[in-house]
Amino acid sequence: MNGGKGSEVRVQTFMGKVSIEGLHQMDNHINEWLRRHNAKPIYVAQCFGADRHHDGRSQEPIMVTSVWYEENDAPQKA
């Protein structure tokens, strides 16, 4: 995947529970991450799967979001 001229494309992957609360938490986490890293998203992919529940006997649905991005030159203010 090519970004802008001479830029390096990177990827960051996020995983969260599939629930209204879980999706809101993931949205907030991704938005904060993008802000802190001053990242310019180029491509986003999502998929669904299952992860073993902490009790080890059942599985719960999860969503995996991968964000391919370029870092902007100017640092973002807090």
Q: How many domains, in total, are found in the chain?
A: 1
pLDDT at 1 over 60: no
Helices and strands (H, E) in the chain, number of each type: 1, 3
Q: Give residue 53's domain range.
A: 10-71
* 76 within some domain: no
Report if residue 3 sits inside a domain: no
The reply to whether 2 falls in a domain is no
Helix, strand, coil share (%) of the chain residues, nearest 5: 25, 45, 30
Rounded to whole angstroms, the Cα distance separating 71 from 62 reads: 27
Among the listed residues 11, 16, 24, the one whose alpha carbon sits nearest the alpha carbon of residue 70: 11
- Give per-residue pLDDT as tens, 8-60: 899 999 999 999 999 999 999 999 999 999 999 999 999 999 988 777 788 88
1 inside domain: no
